[in-house]
Chains A and B, each alone.
Chain A
Amino acid sequence: MLVEDKGIPMKVGLFVPCYVDMFHPETGIATLELLERFGLSVEYPVDQTCCGQPMTNTGCEREAAKTEELFVRNFGKYDYIVTPSGSCTNQVRNNMTAIEQTEAVKHVRSRTYELVEFLHDVLKVDAFPWAEFPHRVALHNNCNTLRNLRIASMSERREEPFSKPKALLGMVKGIEFADLTRPDECCGFGGTFSVFEEGVSAKMGQDKVTDQLKSGAEYVTSSDSSCMMHQEGCARRMGVNLKYIHIAQILNGARA
């Protein structure tokens, strides 16, 4: 696969967010394998850590600077940086401002894509012949992905309905969508909010899980693991038996 404007083979750097690295390596593996299925040369720089979001999210920009520098050092050489996380993409693209905006920084910021938008907008994928997921699935859009990256239309606005994740999932054999009553409602993760404002965060998570349960979904999927980690944590504690699976796994052909 070539870089459109340069006509040279595309080199993709894979960014695996810290919580995916730690708790959901299978999401990282699925993302890597999925990108490779499209003939891309994908590398994972092993010295990566984080995008700086926890600090920036808390207002501590200065504390984020060194982590941001490290990110740019790790990813500066790639044509595209792809990550299975919308909130990290939003951090890099829209909020990575703690460091001097050099050419390298600007390159990294403009070339970082969340997996779904990369598949949908850059690769323009039109089939996942290997994928089959005969289950009832509720889709959760992370708020950053929804309202900042604009991965789907939002209920607050009067706009033509669209959804990039749904468009991709729609190409998966056997999948059935479950409708939530409040599909756009934040689940309460909110980065460091989940730790600092634990009470409201957990209540929002419980309400989200209840909505998912009522929808008759068997699985919940999202292009963001962080929200799902929070939702799954709430679901387990509530004794609810919903299964959470990253969209990369479904698109990569996971069966269950």
Chain B
Amino acid sequence: MTAELHEELTDPHAGEQLDHGAASSRPLKSRISEPQPRGAKIRGNRPVDQSEAANRFMAATEHEAMHDARLWDLRQKRDKEMHGIEEWEELRNLASGIKEHTLSKLDYYLELFEKNATANGIKVHWAKDGAEHNAIVLEILRSKGVELLIKSKSMLTEECGFREFMAKNNVEVIETDLGERIQQLDDEAPSHVVVPAVHKLRTDVASVFAKTIGSDPDNADAHYLTECQREATRPLILSAQAGMTGGNFVVAETGTFVVCTNEGNADLSANTPPLHIASIGIEKLIPGLNELPVFIRLLSRSALGSPITQYTSHFRGPREGGEMHVVLVDNGRSERLGMEKFWPGLKCIRCGACMNTCPVFRRSGGLSYGATYAGPIGLIIDPTFNVHKYRNLPYSSTMNGSCTNVCPVKINIHEQIADWRKTLAGEGEISPVKKVMMKAAGEVLASPVVYRASLPLGRSALRHLPHFMLYNKLNTWGRKRDIPETPKQTFNEWYRRNRKSQSEGEKS
């Protein structure tokens, strides 16, 4: 984010901590550029293999080390901000409560927003899915003869496959968020909800820009790269006929919406052209302005460890001679709201804190998930879009629970991950290997006799894990770890020899 605003970027190596510009990711070894690992291989509707992509990401050691360090740094900055606010946990409770309340009366608040927004001169549209959203936006653009649209970052439009749709319909879309623009130019999805290009080294950005906007491929200076991008994009921004934003919070009581950014690019997108379209998921509602500060105080602190985003812009209606449209998108949200265990995922404010803290995400990169949403929140949302394709994702977690405890709206992420595993196994959406192995384990462990017989005792030739942990090719333990040595006797044997006879003797 905000690379151009940060002084410390003039010397990217200054100071102990990394700075939070996406462009500041510094190569750990200068001059040697390691090729950027790409994301998960998508094969139609086949279940995404996150581990395969994660292994490739980790094999690119410079990328993995930078990615882990950058995101851990954000987590630490978040911790520091948290300690500065005495009522932090109370804020989380409030935020969670407000979201739960709003979601429980969503129909009421949506209609209230529509009424008040309409009174403010905003045109409100309803889209039940991505296709409807895209069609509505296209129609608005066509009615104004728009061929060039500038937009700020929005996960919702990623959900809708918006850019591809517009490309097919001859509308050029320019992303104005720096990280998102990098990803657009590289024809890659964002890897993180807040810092979309965080998986890239500066050298990767230099090569993308060299190919697409003609910068010097050997110059990976953050300032230089940002400047080149700005030079290339500003004229497009000035000539665009329409601008698009998302919305972080939609205020029912006032019929307004709020967009939080660090680069001010949403304001450029919204204010430069005469036509502003905001695409917003229906879960972004909050009741009134009184509730807003709770979220504003939590959002940027959780996301980047900064007290507030550089810009918190309130959009209250079209400016004179202009038009403002809000497209409220469902795209599976109503259905999710009806899911007994998984509806709390709708409280998400997309701060990315769960990704920053997730030890699996930091080592795998966001693109390894092969889905719009990566990391912990992705694991519990993605299967609601396509249960088969994303059935492996809930296993890409150690269920350590760090995500749940950083989440500013207290989503029980790690519990939902466990619930997803149960739900998937119950629906038969589990890999055959896991199924067979667990069936075998369940049988062995249910019988003391069979279990004892399966153990790899010191005297046996099998000096490794018991069979139920080693089903066929899954003897993965020993690839990078030594297998523990089996002692001469198990505890059970020791007890039978040293205590059992004793206590039985006492009884008789």
Contact = CB atoms under 8 A, between A and B. Distances in A.
A22 B442 contact: no
A193 B397 contact: yes
24 contacts: A18-B445, A21-B490, A23-B487, A25-B487, A25-B491, A28-B491, A28-B494, A43-B503, A46-B496, A49-B444, A49-B445, A54-B441, A70-B445, A147-B405, A155-B79, A158-B89, A190-B399, A195-B476, A200-B54, A202-B481, A203-B363, A204-B360, A204-B398, A207-B68
Given A54-B441, A59-B424, A143-B400, A188 B395 contact: no
A256 B88 CA distance: 43
Interface in B423-482: 423-426, 430, 434-435, 438-439, 441-448, 451, 455-456, 466, 468-469, 474, 476-477, 479-482
Interface residues of A, number: 80
B502 to A, nearest CB: 11
B494 A29 contact: yes
Interface in A169-194: 182, 184-186, 188-194
Contacts of B85: 158
Interface stretch (A115-123, A126-134, A216-224, A230-238): A230-238
Interface of B: 51, 54-55, 58, 64, 68, 72, 79, 82-83, 85-86, 88-89, 357, 359-360, 363-364, 394-402, 404-406, 414, 418, 420-426, 430, 434-435, 438-439, 441-448, 451, 455-456, 466, 468-469, 474, 476-477, 479-487, 489-496, 499-500, 503
Interface string A2-45: 00000000000000101011111111110010000000000110
B418 A47 contact: no
A48 B451 CA distance: 10
Contact of B481 (A22, A156, A237): A237
Query: Which 8 A-B pairs give the minimum distances between C-beta atoms?
Result: A59-B421, A190-B398, A233-B481, A63-B442, A66-B446, A28-B491, A156-B405, A198-B476
B85, B397, B484, B487 interface centre (most CB from chain A within 10 Å) = B484
Interface of A: 16, 18, 20-29, 32, 43-44, 46-50, 52, 54-67, 69-70, 95, 143-144, 146-148, 154-159, 182, 184-186, 188-207, 229-230, 232-234, 236-237
Contacts of A200: 51, 54-55, 58, 360, 363-364, 396
Contacts of A63: 438-439, 441-442
B451 A190 contact: no
B417 to A, nearest CB: 10
B256 to A, nearest CB: 31
Contacts of B483: 233
Contacts of B481: 202, 205, 230, 233-234, 236-237
B55 to A, nearest CB: 4
A201 B79 CA distance: 25
A146 B55 CA distance: 28
